[in-house]
Amino acid sequence: MTVLLATILKVVVIFGALISAAGISTLAERRVSAWIQHRIGPNRVGPFGVLQPLADGIKFIFKEEFVPEGANRWLFILAPALSAAAALMSVAVIPFGGLITEIDGTPILMSIADLDIGALWVVAIGGLGIYGVILGGWASNSKYSLFGGLRATAQMISYELSMILCILAVVAMSDTLNLREIVNLQDSADSRCFGFLPGWNIFYQPLAFVLFVICTFAETNRHPFDFAECESELVGGFHTEYSSMKFALFFIGEYCAMIVMSCMTVTLFLGGFSVPYWSEAPFLIGLASFLLKVTFFMFLFLWVRWSLPRFRYDQLMNLGWKVFLPLALVNILLTGLAVSL
């Protein structure tokens, strides 16, 4: 009974934290863009503007709900929900921290579900978020939206391949798909790289790490690969026709996907909740280390967005199919060789 209660508590806390983190990310996006552009950014609502996302949310709720003429009503409403739900669901297997406590001999771990197929789950469920984009783009009955949806589709399929191959390299090394075990393997002292570096996969798989990080940018439709939105060509891409809370849901979905992808990068390549040179660190310190690493990758998302220009669409496709896929394949071949030797 208490175990069930603990699980429910974990679900509530993790989902709540994820959605709040998405809200805070929107504020961070605006503040970081302001700093990079020599501005100050929103700092009026609450101390340092921390209540700005709340104000935005209230504003979104009171905006007019609008369904364009000729739109497919049900799909138009379903799309943002799908987009947000997929991103929220994929967080379920991320191990945020180690052992919290034990109840009646049952260990309570800091992740909602400890699936054997964790790595696959994130890719499978996270990949469904694309349906929100496609359906939203198609159901809007607008050519800009349709173009955004189509571009997002082709882009997602192209980059998902390379991304899965990068994950596969890590999985082949760790011999498991369970994310917690992947983290524990990186934590153990005898996995140290060259004897002194922490046993993180980034040192064993530098190529896969770089490819994976770039693929996460393409997967979450972020700059410099944001062809689904592409303000300068497609007005707003798939969410051109959206308003009010439906628009906000798309954004929650986007930021949640970014957070989940950052979590995946940290878990797969940067030792997750482990602390370098401190095996089996206490729960809170492990959690803090995890959040710190995720924050860095979230910052990277924002930093890159406000630094780099957008690619051209054919460049994106060339990069995906002619550079990333061969590199990922070579990487997995080399990994296979190294593992079998």
CB of 82 vs other proteins, minimal distance in Å = 10
By CB under 8 A, tell whether 124 contacts other proteins: yes
Which of 12, 157, 330, 338 forms a contact with other proteins (CB under 8 A)?
157
By CB under 8 A, tell whether 334 contacts other proteins: no
- Verify cis geometry, omega within 30 degrees of 0, for the bond prior to 206: no
Angle at which helix 206-219 crosses helix 143-174, to 10 degrees, equals: 160
By CB under 8 A, tell whether 327 contacts other proteins: no
Round to whole Å and give the CA distance between 109 and 14.
12
Round to whole Å and give the CA distance between 328 and 319.
12
CA dihedral sign, ordered 292, 294, 297, 301: negative
CB of 146 vs other proteins, minimal distance in Å = 7
By CB under 8 A, tell whether 50 contacts other proteins: no
Round to whole Å and give the CA distance between 166 and 127.
15
Tally DSSP H helices, then E strands, for the chain.
Answer: 14, 2
By CB under 8 A, tell whether 75 contacts other proteins: yes
Would you call 102 helix, strand, or coil by DSSP? strand
CB of 325 vs other proteins, minimal distance in Å = 14
* Tokens found for residue 281: 């660190």
Residues touching other proteins, count (CB under 8 A) = 40
Stretch that binds other proteins, among 58-66, 100-108, 122-130, 285-293 (CB under 8 A): 122-130
By CB under 8 A, tell whether 36 contacts other proteins: yes
By CB under 8 A, tell whether 32 contacts other proteins: yes
Of 40 and 341, which CB lies nearer to other proteins in the complex structure?
A: 40
Of 39 and 63, which CB lies nearer to other proteins in the complex structure?
A: 39
CB of 175 vs other proteins, minimal distance in Å = 9
Would you call 15 helix, strand, or coil by DSSP? helix
Of 100 and 172, which CB lies nearer to other proteins in the complex structure?
A: 172
Q: Which x/- pattern over 162-191 shows residues binding other proteins (rule: CB under 8 A)?
A: ---------------x--------------
Task: Find all residues with CB under 8 Å of 133, minimum gap 6, and list them.
Answer: 79, 83, 148, 149, 152, 153, 221, 228, 238
Of 164 and 275, which CB lies nearer to other proteins in the complex structure?
A: 164
By CB under 8 A, tell whether 81 contacts other proteins: no
Stretch that binds other proteins, among 132-140, 200-208, 283-291, 333-341 (CB under 8 A): 132-140
Task: Find all residues with CB under 8 Å of 151, minimum gap 6, and list them.
Answer: 227, 228, 230, 237, 313
* Tokens found for residue 119: 């790595």
Where are the extended beta strands (E) located within the chain? Answer: 97-103, 106-110
Residue list 91-120, contact with other proteins (CB under 8 A): 115-117, 120
By CB under 8 A, tell whether 35 contacts other proteins: yes
Q: Which x/- pattern over 206-235 shows residues binding other proteins (rule: CB under 8 A)?
A: ----x-------------------------
Which of 76, 96, 131, 159 forms a contact with other proteins (CB under 8 A)?
131
CB of 184 vs other proteins, minimal distance in Å = 17
DSSP class per residue in 293-316? HHHHHHHHHHHHHTTSPPPPHHHH
Residue 102's beta-bridge partner residues? 107
CB of 110 within 8 A of CB of 97? Answer: yes
Among candidate residues 272, 307, 269, the one with its CA nearest the CA of residue 286: 272
Stretch that binds other proteins, among 2-10, 12-20, 103-111, 130-138 (CB under 8 A): 130-138
Binding site for other proteins (CB under 8 A): 32, 34-40, 72, 75, 115-117, 120-121, 123-125, 127-128, 130-131, 134-135, 138, 146, 149-150, 153-154, 156-157, 160, 177, 210, 303-304, 306-308
